[in-house]
Amino acid sequence: MSLTQDISGQTALVTGGSSGLGQATALRLAEAGVHVVVLGRSQEGLDDTVAAIAAKGGTAKSIRGDLAERGTLEAAVDQVVADAGHLNVLVNNAAVMYMDQASTAARDRWEQMFQINVFALIEGSQAAIRHMREKDVDGHIVNISSLASRLPGGGLYGATKSAIERYADQLRMELENDKIRITTIVPGGFATNLGRDINEQQQAVFQEKIGAQMEGLVPDAEGRTPLFGIPDDIARAVVFAVAQPIYLNVFEMVVRPSKNIDPAAFME
Ligand SMILES: NC(=O)c1ccc[n+]([C@@H]2O[C@H](COP(=O)([O-])OP(=O)(O)OC[C@H]3O[C@@H](n4cnc5c(N)ncnc54)[C@H](OP(=O)(O)O)[C@@H]3O)[C@@H](O)[C@H]2O)c1
C-alpha cells in the first residue's frame, strides 16, 4: 500500500519557490505530477526552479512578485486559477528573518517582516480558499513556520511564526466542513539562504556558537549534518501532508535534524 495518494494533475502555488525549502518543495511536487507555479522576487532563482522541473519532465511556471506589497499574493492566486483552471495546493513558504532586538527594532523593518511572513500569508490563504470553494476542489494550504515560534531567542521573527501557527489553527476549525485541509510544518535547522538578512555582528555570534556545535560533525553525501538538514527533507514532509486523503488533516509536523541549534546563536 502506498503511504500517499495520487496527486498528479493538481496545481500548486509555492511562495518563495526561487530558493531553499520552497525550491525543493516545488521540485518534489512536480515529481509527483503536480503543475507548479513558483513565486518570488529573484527571476534567476525562479528560472532555475522552472528549468529544473522541466528537465525532469514536469510542468512549471513562475510569477515574479514582491510579498512586501499588499495584493501581490491575491493577484498571483487569481492568475494561477485563470491560467490552470484551479488551485489545489498553496504552500505559504516565503519569509524573511530579521533578528533585530524586539525592544528597539525599527518600525519599517518589523512592519515589512510581518507583511511578508504574516499578512501576505493571510491574504493568499483567503484568496486560495475562495477559489477552492468556487471550483469545489480538494485543497491543501501548507504554512512553513519555524521552531523559532517556540524557542527562546526567536525574536520578532518567532512572533511572526507564532502568528501564522495560531492563524492556521483558526482556519482549520473554520474549514472543518470544507474539502480544505491546513498543515503547519515547523522546521528546525536547514541549510538555505535564510540568514542573508542577519547583520554582521549577529553573523559573528551565530558562526561562533554554531562553529562550536558543528565541531566533529561530518556531512553525508547530500550535505546533511546532525545539525543542519537539506531543503529536500522539508519538501518530502510537505508532499506527504498534501498527498493524504482529504478526510485526514495532518495538523502539524515538526521536522528537524537530530541535534538542535543552540538558541543563543540567534542572540546578539
Ligand atoms: N532554513 C531554515 O533553517 C528554516 C528553519 C525554520 C523555518 N524556515 C522557514 O522556511 C521558509 C523558507 O525559507 P528558506 O530557509 O528556504 O530561506 P530562503 O532560501 O531565504 O528562502 C526564502 C524564500 O522567500 C522568498 N521571499 C522572501 N522575501 C520575499 C518577498 N518580499 N516577496 C516574495 N518572496 C520573498 C525568497 O525569494 P526571493 O529572494 O526570490 O524573493 C526565497 O525564495 C521560510 O518561511 C522560513 O522562515 C527555514
The ranges assigned to domains in the chain are: 11-266
Instruction: Categorize the per-residue pLDDT at 209 as very low, low, confident or very high, splitting at 50, 70 and 90.
Output: confident
Instruction: Categorize the per-residue pLDDT at 116 as very low, low, confident or very high, splitting at 50, 70 and 90.
Output: very high
Starting at the earlier edge strand, list the strands of the sheet with 89-92: 60-64, 35-40, 11-15, 89-92, 139-144, 180-187, 252-255
20 lines ligand 1 (CB under 6 A): yes
Q: What is the 3-state secondary structure (H, E, C) of the chain?
A: CCCCCCCCCCEEEEECCCCHHHHHHHHHHHHCCCEEEEEECCHHHHHHHHHHHHHCCCCEEEEECCCCCCCHHHHHHHHHHHHHCCCCEEEECCCCCCCCCCCCCCHHHHHHHHHHHHHHHHHHHHHHHHHHHHHCCCEEEEEECCHHHCCCCCHHHHHHHHHHHHHHHHHHHHCCCCCEEEEEEEECCECCCHHHHCCHHHHHHHHHHHHHHHCCCCCCCCCCCCCCECHHHHHHHHHHHHCCCCCCCCCEEEECCCCCCCHHHHCC
116 lines ligand 1 (CB under 6 A): yes
Average pLDDT over residues 125-129: 99
Q: What is the pLDDT of residues 239-250, one digit of tens each?
A: 999 999 999 999
21 lines ligand 1 (CB under 6 A): yes
pLDDT above 60: residue 268: no
Quote the ligand 1 centre to 23 CA distance (angstroms).
Answer: 10
Other beta carbons within 10 angstroms of residue 61's beta carbon come to 18
Terminal C-alpha separation, the chain? 50
Quote the ligand 1 centre to 203 CA distance (angstroms).
Answer: 18
CA distances from 58 to 3, 189, 240 (A): 22, 29, 19
Q: How high is the pLDDT of residue 23? A: 98
Q: How high is the pLDDT of residue 44? A: 98
pLDDT above 60: residue 150: yes
Give yes or no: 157 in active site. yes
pLDDT above 60: residue 78: yes
Average pLDDT over residues 87-113: 97
Instruction: Categorize the per-residue pLDDT at 267 as very low, low, confident or very high, splitting at 50, 70 and 90.
Output: low
pLDDT above 70: residue 207: yes
Average pLDDT over residues 73-102: 97
Share of the chain above pLDDT 90, in %: 86
| 16 Cα nearest atom in ligand 1 | 43
Q: How high is the pLDDT of residue 205? A: 83
pLDDT above 80: residue 216: yes
Q: How high is the pLDDT of residue 191? A: 92
pLDDT mean across residues, the chain = 95
Q: What is the pLDDT of residues 157-196, one digit of tens each?
A: 999 999 999 999 999 999 999 999 999 999 999 999 898 8
pLDDT above 80: residue 266: no
Q: What architecture does CATH give domain 11-266?
A: 3-Layer(aba) Sandwich (3.40)
pLDDT above 90: residue 212: no
pLDDT above 70: residue 109: yes
146 lines ligand 1 (CB under 6 A): yes
Q: Which residues of 195-224 are buried (b: 16+ CB within 10 A; e: fewer)?
A: eeebeeebeebbeebbeebeeeeeeeeeeb
Average pLDDT over residues 37-42: 98
Average pLDDT over residues 194-200: 88
